[in-house]
Structure 1
Amino acid sequence: MRSVVRETYGPDDLGAEPIFGGGFINFGYWRAADPARPPGEQERIRSQQDLYRHVLDAAAVRASDRVLEVGCGLGRGCALALEEYGPASVTGLDVHPQQLQRARDLHPDLLRRMPDRLRFVRGAAEQIPSDDDAYDVVVSVEAAQHFPDLTAFAEETARVLRPGGRTAVTSFFTVDDEPTRPGELAELLETFANGLDLARPVAALADAFSAAGLTQVRVEPIGAHVWPGWDLWLSRWWDPGTWPRNFLRAYERGILDYYTVTAVRAR
């Protein structure tokens, strides 16, 4: 685990911060954003839930599926998947032991009632502790920007998916492989400057999926549903030009976007 990831998600519960109302720790998928007023907390919570729904729909989760979430954090998305989509099982994987403990502490009733359908395990995206062909679906929601090796993640995803299995990953990436992009983002955004978020083009993940043998690789930009709503929400605390609000600025400058990447393991 990289030290900046350990420190960011360690002693303090990031999910308890007001900007992550509801504890999902993602930027959200905003159905509509009214520029005349910042969204309220319930709208913020719904945006984070809707980002999970967007990814679970993109992966076409069915009742018979065994689902793995890579980078599950506090497990809120795992619980949503289990309760709303009813798959056979959901496994939440995270590299950070404190996050996993928080996930277990947040969901004692589900874990007690559904011990065969929900579990949280420790592991890295690049070395998933699982047998081959173990899952029908692999999803990851706003975690891939932290993964140090997208090639290894793609290879592991292909390995643990059964034939015909699907993957859907959503996160933010640079729009292209221009060598200036990392420096531009480091100037705008603290999380890129300190190395928490890694500047890679979305093609790096799409190409890694293809190289790992996955098929039907598709890239969908969804920044229009992410950045404006996220920026309105941030306006409750930060002024324009302050670093958290530079995500929208980077998007408008054509440096950064938010994407959903899907793929299928051939039968």
Structure 2
Amino acid sequence: MRPVVRETYGPGDLGSHQIFAGGFINFGYWRAVDLGGPLGEAERIRSQVDLYRHVLDSAGPPRGADVLEVGCGLGMGSVVTLREYGTGTVTGMDVHPEQLRRARAAHADLLRQEPDRLRFVQGAAESMPLEGGAFDAVISVEAAQHFPDLGAFAAETWRVLRPGGRVAVASFFTVDEEPGRAEELARLLDTYASGLDIARPVKALADAFTRAGFTSVQGESIGTHVWPGWDRWLSRWWEPGTWPRNFLRAYRQRILDYYLVTAVRPEEQKADAGTAHAAPGS
């Protein structure tokens, strides 16, 4: 685990900050929120739950599916998945032991009530301590900006998915591969200057999924439903020109955007009856 991640999600306890009301720790998907009206904690929590719903709708887990969330944080999204989507099981995985301790404490009652349907495990996106072919869907919400190796994440996602399974990842990336994007973002945003967030183009994740063998790889910009609402919420605490408000600035300058990236692990193709058992060179 990188030291900046260990500090931010351990002693720093990012989820305790008021900007992440409800403990979801994401910027929110504000499409259904009236940004012209007053914004309170209820609207903020709605935006964060709606981001999970948008991701889950895109992943389309069938009823009774086994779902893995990579980077589950405090487990709030894993619980939404279990309660609203009729899943068979949900596994929330996070690299940080403190986050998992908090998740287990926050959802202790549900873990006792549903011991066979909800669990939290420690593991890195690049090296998942999970059986191959164990899941019908893999989701990740606002965690991929921290993953040091997108290629390894894609390969591990392929490994733990069953044939026909889907992956859906929501996170923020640079809009292109222009040189100097990392330096631009480091000047604008403290999270990039510190190394907490890693500047990479969305194409890097899409290409990693393609190289891993996924098909139907798509990247959709959803920034129009993320950045204005996030900035409006931040305005309760920060003035224009302060670094947190620069997320919207980076979006408007076409440096950074928020994306939903989806892909499918193809169904296994059955060999033709006449060739299924042919010896090499026959």
**TM-score category by the smaller chain?**
over 0.9
* 2:278 alignment counterpart: none
Inter-partner Cα distance in structure 2 for 1:63 and 1:210? 27
- Is it true that 1:236 corresponds to 2:236 in the alignment? yes
* 1:211 alignment counterpart: 211
Q: Deviations for 1:87-129, whole angstroms, at most 9, x for unmatched residues?
A: 0000000000000000000001110011110000000000011
Inter-partner Cα distance in structure 2 for 1:35 and 1:197? 27
Larger deviation: 9-18 or 46-55? 9-18
Residue 92 of structure 1: SS of its match in structure 2?
Answer: strand
* 1:259 alignment counterpart: 259
Residue 162 of structure 1: SS of its match in structure 2?
Answer: strand
Inter-partner Cα distance in structure 1 for 2:86 and 2:31? 24
The AA in structure 2 aligned to 1:181 is R
Give how far 1:195 is off.
0.1
Q: How does 1:22-101 map to 2 (within 5 A)?
A: 22-32=22-32, 34=34, 36=36, 39-101=39-101
Q: How does 1:165-176 map to 2 (within 5 A)?
A: 165-176=165-176
Give how far 1:33 is off.
5.5
Residue 197 of structure 1: SS of its match in structure 2?
Answer: coil
Give how far 1:15 is off.
1.4
* 1:9 alignment counterpart: 9
Answer yes or no: is the 8 Å Cα contact 1:37–1:232 preserved in 2: no
Answer yes or no: is the 8 Å Cα contact 1:133–1:162 preserved in 2: yes
With the length of structure 1 as denominator, give the TM-score of the two structures. 0.98
Q: CA RMSD in A?
A: 1.0
Question: Number of residues paired by the alignment?
Answer: 267
Inter-partner Cα distance in structure 1 for 2:19 and 2:204? 29
Inter-partner Cα distance in structure 2 for 1:80 and 1:167? 17
Give how far 1:171 is off.
0.1
Answer yes or no: is the 8 Å Cα contact 2:69–2:78 preserved in 1: yes
Give how far 1:13 is off.
2.6
* 1:136 alignment counterpart: 136
Give how far 1:38 is off.
5.2
Segments of structure 1 that go 5 or more residues without pairing to the other structure are none
Give how far 1:37 is off.
5.0
The AA in structure 1 aligned to 2:111 is L
- Is it true that 1:245 corresponds to 2:227 in the alignment? no
The AA in structure 1 aligned to 2:91 is T
Inter-partner Cα distance in structure 2 for 1:218 and 1:131? 26
Residue 111 of structure 1: SS of its match in structure 2?
Answer: helix
Q: Which has the larger radius of gyration?
A: 2
Give how far 1:187 is off.
0.4
Inter-partner Cα distance in structure 1 for 2:84 and 2:155? 29
Structure 1 stretches of 4+ with a deviation exceeding 4 A read: 32-38
Answer yes or no: is the 8 Å Cα contact 2:71–2:93 preserved in 1: yes
Residue 43 of structure 2: SS of its match in structure 1?
Answer: helix
Larger deviation: 24-33 or 174-183? 24-33
The AA in structure 1 aligned to 2:62 is R
Inter-partner Cα distance in structure 1 for 2:32 and 2:100? 32
* 1:150 alignment counterpart: 150
Answer yes or no: is the 8 Å Cα contact 2:139–2:169 preserved in 1: yes
The AA in structure 2 aligned to 1:175 is V
Inter-partner Cα distance in structure 1 for 2:38 and 2:167? 33
Segments of structure 2 that go 5 or more residues without pairing to the other structure are 268-282
* 1:177 alignment counterpart: 177
Q: Deviations for 1:114-171, whole angstroms, at most 9, x for unmatched residues?
A: 1110000000000011111111000000000000000000000011100000000000
Residue 177 of structure 1: SS of its match in structure 2?
Answer: coil
Give how far 1:12 is off.
3.7
* 1:200 alignment counterpart: 200
Change (3 A) 1:38 1:256: farther
